[in-house]
């Protein structure tokens, strides 16, 4: 049945044509026996063993997504997803008791499109009967350390939408399933809870944590995944699987396995039923000792298994038959085909109380010297490109809505956002943005993102043409970070359109590569804009090579309205002599009205940072170091550093240079100290006139390896802050967690890797503080970070390693390219903000959002047409500072998906950690909102119909007050850290 839901006032109902129909398939009937109704009966007085047939299909790892799907390049790894799905469906039809779960919608979507209508009907029936069940259901199984929450929500929404539209309610997964990611983030658990999942299962956790949990029978627990959202809103039942995600030893019957099949002809000499049954009963008994209930789960499958599903199912049928036959002889073990949701249902029926967890599962170690903390930084260029692509995608989504249908078919051709959505969704996979794939696969992820952006560029050009009234060709300059833009380098007159994807006005510094020395710049109102022309640095010339020829950069500050654009006109006045070169030597200080940074003239290094508004100063020195990566050749362990594992040879990193050669530029628009630490490390310390953050733009690479030493490069900030071994990192760009050196909240840590064992993912920010001062570092990509020394904060920037770390990828992390055959050069920015701790979030929350969703610049050559609209805002007014506009995306022809987010935690800000109300009808300037319905976070259920299992924590708790409602249909209230998702019925004004 199509669910129809629209909350509108009566007058609007009369006006409206059609209804807002939620995309649930017509095909769903109340008689369907999927989900919890489809579970096999269990035996109440026995140990019930739930066998879960599954395959784990990486959306790229050793092979590309396409190679995995088609079974290409089997010389790398024998794997073909299309054959797995063909074979599983065939085998499910042969026995109605059989079950199978499938996870990665990116693959299933592709397979489904290639099936005949007859086969699609068969598969729908299997889904309706609960014999084929989807779990997790996102486009991929995302990484949890290096992904940003907004991109995770997007990829989950895309996968779950396909399942909803194809299979109706029976396609909706009840269970989140992250069996392979290398550590688990609290924010992911919070998101899964808000998406309506009843439970969550994963395979990997720290070996010390697992040992403690096995003893205490705490491998199943209740995870309270937010300190701001009212329980049970972010509570998620979490189960740790017994064998990672593999079958128990001796019971793997895939074509990729060597275990003997069940030979059940008693006339055969090698008849082995008794042996198999006896070993299985022993395995089940041992497993039951470390779990709490009379139910245990066994994952019967692994990477890319079930290509010949007959092997598995023939042996599983026999296993169930022969083990259960022993019940006649007094056995108390019952084996059944099951799914994670059926297993979860039995745990829920047990009606127990469960240990409560409030921290996360980072870092992950599978042995004393094997810390999976290297991938927090691995492939730093890909990590940045993925983050930048997210910004491009959100801009593309917004302009598709604001520009209307013409954005998809307009003067520049056919554009779409879907290609970029799919590319970004695949990039969230736990072997994609994590940096743990083979090099040719990393190249493929980047190629997909570039292709997605090409499709979006057409859409963006069409939309901006519609909004501005000018169909002049728009030029995109994707290499501005290395001062490359052919148009600005050669043109005498051009305009810059600055689109701001945030729901508040932004002021943003623009740096354009030019060859002139004097310009006039005017804003949308014709007012003259202050600018400076500064020489391109030596470091930039070296990194861009022959891709650009600008000798100067034109630097000026732009303002753009919320969810809108502003246009700046630039005219060349003179090519003439170059501007005054940079001054050699180190200035004593650079300062604006907000900040002052001082330098040591002897070393050329930073010396202190002051917030002039709050009159606070800290000592601050910053330098670059490298850890020598272990080659696996020592007495303690043979584990080398690699794409996954960080294992330095020593706790003391090597300093690259104790002094920096410097030159400085001091102008009214920007002040810079350019530092040169050596042939492969340089930096610009930069302060713009109206910035409240100090920018450190670092350039690292190519890392030299002619000494045969792998290198892991960090920058370290050493301060006078008394941090007492405590530091803070964000979880997927949202809530902040406290970290303590050499400590884990839920077990007594035996620390065997004093550096790697203290590294955590830094997705968007990290900070240290004492009673008076908080230094926050905002990053432009996911990186690893720590505080090893009191008052210090270190961020790992780049890694180049000479050995594989024996976790399957089979090649060292040694990145080169055609452009950089000597090794990858990486450039990035850290933004430093200094504040009193009670108000620090007021600065770092908006700052981090500005880095994630940065303005998009497009360029038009020559004069603009006279009637061009030079400024536009898609909002009637800026949203309050606590509210972030997370999603504006076209859902279907008449409706828009909207997510509003409160971006402060309850304890973070006196001013902003308060509920905020937004009126949806007064939100957009060009859209009339005719109807609204609220959805869950992943937009696959109506919010008021979302029902989740209740779980009881062990702790005594008073009942919580019921949340108060909204003031009206149109006015919605956001509490700290709340994300609310709406489907809006709209028409263009």
Catalytically annotated residues: 180
Contact 690, 592 (CB under 8 A): yes
Beta bridge partners of 887: 899
As a whole number of angstroms, the distance between CA 104 and CA 945 comes to 26
Query: CA 617, CA 639: separation in Å to the nearest integer?
Result: 43
How many CA atoms lie less than 13 Å away from 608 in the CB half-sphere?
Answer: 15
Nearest to 132 by CA among 317, 341, 310: 341
Run of H or E including 341: helix 340-349
Task: Tally helices (H) and strands (E) across the chain.
Answer: 17, 50
Listing DSSP states for 61-105 in one string gives SSS-HHHHHHT--TTT----HHHHHHHHHHHHTT-TT--EEE--H
Q: Could you tell me the two tokens for 222? A: 């209740």
The Cα 281–Cα 324 span in angstroms is 10
Q: How far apart are CA 723 and CA 743, in angstroms?
A: 15
* Cβ contact 386:450 at 8 Å: no
Q: Are strands 235-240 and 199-202 parallel, antiparallel or unpaired?
A: parallel
CB contact at 8 A, 238 and 200: yes
Output b/e per residue, 189-204; b: 16+ Cβ within 10 A: bbbbbbbbbbbbbbbb
Contacts of residue 10, Cβ cutoff 8 Å, sequence gap at least 6: none
833 bridge partner residues? 776
In degrees, to the nearest 5, what angle opens at C-alpha 674 toward C-alphas 673 and 679?
155
Length of the chain: 989
Query: Is 596:549 a contact under the CB 8 Å cutoff?
Result: no
DSSP reduced 3-state for 756: helix
Cα gap 883→903, rounded to integer Å: 6
DSSP 480-502: GGGTB-HHHHH-SEEEEEEEE-S
């Amino acid at each position: 049945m199509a669910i129809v839901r629209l909350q509108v006032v009566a007058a609007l109902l009369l006006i409206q044509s059609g209804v807002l129909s939620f995309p649930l398939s017509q095909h769903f009937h109340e008689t369907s026996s999927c989900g919890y109704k489809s579970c096999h009966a269990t035996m109440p007085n026995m140990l019930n063993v739930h066998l879960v047939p599954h395959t784990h299909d990486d959306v790229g790892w050793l092979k590309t997504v396409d190679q995995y799907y088609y079974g290409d390049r089997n010389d790398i790894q024998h794997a073909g997803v299309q054959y797995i799905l063909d074979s599983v469906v065939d085998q499910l039809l042969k026995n109605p008791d059989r079950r199978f779960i499938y996870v990665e919608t990116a693959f299933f979507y592709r397979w489904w499109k290639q099936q005949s209508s007859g086969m699609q009907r068969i598969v729908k029936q299997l889904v309706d009967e609960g014999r084929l069940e989807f779990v997790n259901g996102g486009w991929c199984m995302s990484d949890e350390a290096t992904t940003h929450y907004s991109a995770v929500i997007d990829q989950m929404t895309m996968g779950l939408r396909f399942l909803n539209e194809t299979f109706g309610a029976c396609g909706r997964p009840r269970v989140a399933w992250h069996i392979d990611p290398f550590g688990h983030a609290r924010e992911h658990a919070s998101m899964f809870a808000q998406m309506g999942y009843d439970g969550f299962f994963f395979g990997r956790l720290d070996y010390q944590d697992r040992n403690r949990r096995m003893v205490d029978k705490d491998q199943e627990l209740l995870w309270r995944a937010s300190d701001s959202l009212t329980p049970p809103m972010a509570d998620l039942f979490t189960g740790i699987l017994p064998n990672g995600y593999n079958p128990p030893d001796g019971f793997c019957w895939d074509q990729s396995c060597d275990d003997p099949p069940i030979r059940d002809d008693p006339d055969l000499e090698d008849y082995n039923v008794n042996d198999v049954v006896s070993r299985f009963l022993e395995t089940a008994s041992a497993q039951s000792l470390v779990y709490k209930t009379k139910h245990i789960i066994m994952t019967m499958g692994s990477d890319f298994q079930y290509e010949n599903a007959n092997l598995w199912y023939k042996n599983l049928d026999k296993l169930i038959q022969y083990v259960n036959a022993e019940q006649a002889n007094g056995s108390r073990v019952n084996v059944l085909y099951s799914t994670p949701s059926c297993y979860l249902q039995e745990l829920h029926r047990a009606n127990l109380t469960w240990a409560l967890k409030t921290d996360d599962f980072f870092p992950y170690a599978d042995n004393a010297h094997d810390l999976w903390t290297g991938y927090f930084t691995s492939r730093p260029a890909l990590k940045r490109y993925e983050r930048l692509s997210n910004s491009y995608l959100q801009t593309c989504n917004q302009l598709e809505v604001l520009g209307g249908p013409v954005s998809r078919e307009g003067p520049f051709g056919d554009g779409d956002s879907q290609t970029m959505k799919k590319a970004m969704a695949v990039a969230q996979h736990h072997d994609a943005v994590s940096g743990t794939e083979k090099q040719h696969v990393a190249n493929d992820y980047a190629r997909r993102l570039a292709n997605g952006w090409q499709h979006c560029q057409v859409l963006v050009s069409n939309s901006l043409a519609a909004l501005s009234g000018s169909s002049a060709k728009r030029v995109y300059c994707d290499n501005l970070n290395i001062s490359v833009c052919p148009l600005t380098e050669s043109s005498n007159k051009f305009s810059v359109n600055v689109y701001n994807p945030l729901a508040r006005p932004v002021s943003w510094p623009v740096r354009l590569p030019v060859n002139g020395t004097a310009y006039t710049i005017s804003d949308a109102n014709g007012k003259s804009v202050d600018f400076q022309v500064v020489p391109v640095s030596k470091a930039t010339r070296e990194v861009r090579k022959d891709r650009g020829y600008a000798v100067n950069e034109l630097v000026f500050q732009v303002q753009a309205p919320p969810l809108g654009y502003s246009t700046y006109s630039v005219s060349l006045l003179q090519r003439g002599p170059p501007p005054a070169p940079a001054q050699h030597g180190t200035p004593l200080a650079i300062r604006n009205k907000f900040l002052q940074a001082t330098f040591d003239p002897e070393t050329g290094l930073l010396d202190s940072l002051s917030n002039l508004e709050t009159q606070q100063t800290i000592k601050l020195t910053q330098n670059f170091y490298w850890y020598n990566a272990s080659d696996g050749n020592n007495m303690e362990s043979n584990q080398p550093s690699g794409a996954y594992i960080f294992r330095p040879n020593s706790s003391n990193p090597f300093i690259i240079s104790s002094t920096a050669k410097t030159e400085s530029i001091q102008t009214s628009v920007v002040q810079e100290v350019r530092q040169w630490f050596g042939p492969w490390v340089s930096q610009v310390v930069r302060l713009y006139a109206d910035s409240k953050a100090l920018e450190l733009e670092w350039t690292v690479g190519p890392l030299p390896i002619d000494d045969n030493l792998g290198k892991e490069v960090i920058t370290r900030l050493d301060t006078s802050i008394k941090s007492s071994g405590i530091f803070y990192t964000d979880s997927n760009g949202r809530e902040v967690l406290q970290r303590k050196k050499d400590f884990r909240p839920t077990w007594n840590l035996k620390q065997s890797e004093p550096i790697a064992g203290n590294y955590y993912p830094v997705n968007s920010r990290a900070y240290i503080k004492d009673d008076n001062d908080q230094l926050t570092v905002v990053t432009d990509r996911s990186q690893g970070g720590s505080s090893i020394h009191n008052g210090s904060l270190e961020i790992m920037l780049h890694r180049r390693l000479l050995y594989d770390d024996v976790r399957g990828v089979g090649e060292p992390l040694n990145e080169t390219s055609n452009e950089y055959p000597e090794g990858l050069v990486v450039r990035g920015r850290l933004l430093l903000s200094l504040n009193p701790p009670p108000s620090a979030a007021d600065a770092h929350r908006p700052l981090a959002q500005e880095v994630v969703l940065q303005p998009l610049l497009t360029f038009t050559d020559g004069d603009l047409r006279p009637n061009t609209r030079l400024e536009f805002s898609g909002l009637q007014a800026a949203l309050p500072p606590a509210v972030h506009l997370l999603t504006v995306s076209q859902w279907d022809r008449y409706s828009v998906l909207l997510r509003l987010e409160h971006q402060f935690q309850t304890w973070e800000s006196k001013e902003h950690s308060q509920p905020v109300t937004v009126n949806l009808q007064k939100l957009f300037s060009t859209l009339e909102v005719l109807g609204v319905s609220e959805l869950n976070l992943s937009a696959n259920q109506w919010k008021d119909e979302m029902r989740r299992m209740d779980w009881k924590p062990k702790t005594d708790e008073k009942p919580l007050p019921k949340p108060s409602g909204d003031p009206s249909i149109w006015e919605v209230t956001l509490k700290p850290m709340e994300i609310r998702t709406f489907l809006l019925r709209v028409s263009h004004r």
